[in-house]
Chains A and B, each alone.
Chain A
Amino acid sequence: DSGVTQTPKHLITATGQRVTLRCSPRSGDLSVYWYQQSLDQGLQFLIQYYNGEERAKGNILERFSAQQFPDLHSELNLSSLELGDSALYFCASSGRTGYGYTFGSGTRLTVV
């Protein structure tokens, strides 16, 4: 157990739908990062939050959005889903300087 909790582990949904993925960071970590990993592809950085504020943005589609709540958990919202959005979505957390950068076990999203 890495200490980073992601739910759900698996999600199957239809095209056009909207889903929410949840991440609870390790105790004490203020930064949360979201990544997308399609089959046999590298990690694609989506977005980072630090203590409730957006810190950095990667290749995140406009159909996707995220937020970090006062209790530091984060949610990634994916809307108008397409078949190509099927992927593993990872959350990671760290301290301010990236110390202890640790991944959750991921959510496998399948869009049918």
Chain B
Amino acid sequence: GQNIDQPTEMTATEGAIVQINCTYQTSGFNGLFWYQQHAGEAPTFLSYNVLDGLEEKGRFSSFLSRSKGYSYLLLKELQMKDSASYLCAGMDSNYQLIWGAGTKLIIKP
């Protein structure tokens, strides 16, 4: 079957660094997506990885290891506005996104 696992909730301190892990199992693989979703709002695209390695985009970086079926999202210099849910999604061979349940990130001052 297809499955995406990520922690339900994480807490971090403003200014710190946090890493949100995601393991995936998909039928075929066409990339790994990360989205940010603030409460009551639409998910917004953060990153896409299809090759192994680290993709850096400002304060956010995403890493992929295809052999391990593993990805992480790294958020640096945390700000209060980063409090949100972070959704990991794997794209299967039919170009369907398989979604994780999301990780709720709580930032404390």
For the complex formed, measure the closest distance between the CB of B23 and the CB atoms of chain A, giving whole angstroms.
16
**Known contacts A98-B30, A98-B91; is A105 also within 8 Å of B41 by CB?**
yes
Residues of A within 8 A of B44 (CB): 2, 103
Q: Which of A42, A43, A88, A104 lies in contact with B40, CB distance below 8 A?
A: A88
In the complex, given contacts A43-B102, A101-B33, A101-B45, what are 18 additional A-B residue pairs having Cβ atoms less than 8 angstroms apart?
Answer: A2-B42, A42-B100, A42-B101, A43-B87, A43-B99, A45-B97, A56-B94, A56-B96, A96-B95, A98-B31, A98-B91, A101-B97, A102-B45, A103-B42, A103-B43, A104-B42, A105-B42, A108-B40
A34 interface residue per 8 A CB criterion: no
Contact with B along A41-65 (1 / 0, CB 8 A): 1110100100000001000000000
Q: How many residues of chain B get a CB closer than 8 Å to chain A's CBs?
A: 19
Main secondary structure of the interface of B (DSSP, over half): loop
7 smallest beta-carbon distances between A and B, as pairs: A42-B101, A103-B42, A98-B95, A43-B99, A97-B95, A105-B42, A103-B43
Q: Can you give 11 contacting A-B residue pairs, CB < 8 Å? A: A42-B100, A42-B101, A42-B102, A43-B87, A45-B96, A45-B99, A96-B95, A97-B95, A98-B31, A101-B97, A105-B42
- B residues within 8 Å of A by Cβ? 30-31, 33, 40-45, 87, 91, 94-97, 99-102
- Minimum Cβ distance to chain B for residue A39 (Å): 9
Say yes or no: B30 contacts A97, CB within 8 Å. Answer: yes
Query: What is the CB-to-nearest-CB distance from A49 to chain B, in angstroms, rounded to a whole number?
Result: 13
- B-side contacts of A42, CB under 8 Å: 87, 99-102
Residue of B nearest to A106 (CB): B42
> How many Å from the CB of A73 to the closest CB on chain B?
18
Q: In the complex, what distance in Å separates the CA atom of A98 from the CA atom of B99?
A: 14
From A48, which residue of chain B is reached at the shortest CB distance? B96
Residues of B within 8 A of A56 (CB): 94, 96
Which residue of chain B is the closest to A108 with respect to CB atoms? B40
Looking at the assembled complex, report how far the CB atom of A80 sits from the nearest CB atom of chain B, in whole angstroms. 26
CB-CB < 8 A to A105: which residues of B?
41-42
